């Protein structure tokens, strides 16, 4: 089985040996007065992901480099940037059988919670990093403007005006798009919809042309739905 691990648009050179994905919930158990318990079901909590990855400082034949060889320093810089810039990104794992058949993909928007760099003499010049990710959910805020007008002799009158900061944007028209070098479905969706996580809209509209959402090629023509 072949694994491809992506942190955003960055392909890790050596897939981790082990991947732990914890999908928790926020259910609450209560004790009743008759000494029985009930379980109150609530919405799922945030998913956590943990793994340890090898970052080579030499070029191994089994390592994968999407844009040419990069040493461990490059990937450590990517992790540092994600942490310092507080950037949410897509975590993607693509799984393929030896025949080339895709089993299933993991594709989730996450934030980098923490990572630990480990150097061990038995690993030679290479570096190992333990990485912990946590699911990221989009949210927005609202601005409430309160205007108080006082009249005499009547009692004070309070008028509440609510302004939603989220501005509606017109839906893009359906059109064709020709894939260019360096494109990925995430970036194309962000260009047309303003949100890269809507890449599935493009994928579902072009399943006859896209076998693996992580692999598209320059020159392909996709239909971009409205």
Cis geometry, peptide bond prior to residue 120 (ω within 30 degrees of 0):
no
Q: Who wins on pLDDT, 147 or 61? A: 61
The pLDDT, as a whole number, for residue 160 is 59
pTM of the model: 0.56
Q: Read off the pLDDT of each residue in 118-145 and give the average, rounded to a whole number.
A: 89
The pLDDT, as a whole number, for residue 35 is 81
The pLDDT, as a whole number, for residue 196 is 87
pLDDT above 70 coverage of the chain, percent: 89
- Angstrom distance (rounded) from CA 209 to CA 106: 21
The pLDDT, as a whole number, for residue 162 is 59
pLDDT above 90 coverage of the chain, percent: 41
Residues whose CB is less than 8 angstroms from the CB of residue 14 and which lie 6 or more positions away in sequence, other chains included: 53, 54, 55, 56, 60, 62, 63, 64
Q: Is the pLDDT of residue 49 over 60?
A: yes
Q: Is the pLDDT of residue 85 over 60?
A: yes
The pLDDT, as a whole number, for residue 87 is 84
- Angstrom distance (rounded) from CA 75 to CA 9: 12
């Amino acid at each position: 089985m072949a694994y491809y691990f992506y942190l955003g648009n960055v392909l890790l050179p050596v897939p981790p040996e082990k991947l732990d994905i914890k999908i928790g919930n926020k259910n609450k158990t209560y004790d009743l007065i008759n000494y029985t318990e009930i379980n109150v079901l609530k919405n799922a909590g945030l998913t956590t992901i943990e793994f340890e990855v090898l970052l080579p400082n030499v070029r191994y034949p089994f390592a994968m480099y999407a844009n040419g060889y990069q040493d461990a320093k490059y990937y450590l810089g990517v992790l540092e940037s994600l942490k310092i810039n507080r950037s949410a990104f897509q975590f993607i794992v693509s799984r393929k059988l030896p025949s080339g058949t895709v089993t299933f993909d993991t594709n989730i928007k996450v934030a980098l919670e923490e990572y630990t760099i480990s150097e061990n003499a038995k690993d030679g010049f290479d570096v190992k990093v333990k990485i912990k990710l946590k699911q990221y959910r989009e949210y927005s805020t609202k601005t409430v403007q309160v205007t108080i007008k006082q009249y005499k002799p009547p009692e004070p009158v309070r008028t509440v005006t609510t302004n939603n900061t989220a501005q509606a944007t017109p839906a893009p028209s359906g059109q064709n798009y020709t894939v260019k070098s360096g494109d990925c479905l995430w970036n194309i969706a962000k260009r047309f919809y303003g949100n890269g996580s809507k890449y599935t809209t493009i994928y579902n509209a072009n399943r006859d042309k896209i076998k693996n959402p992580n692999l598209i090629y320059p020159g392909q023509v996709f239909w971009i739905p409205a």
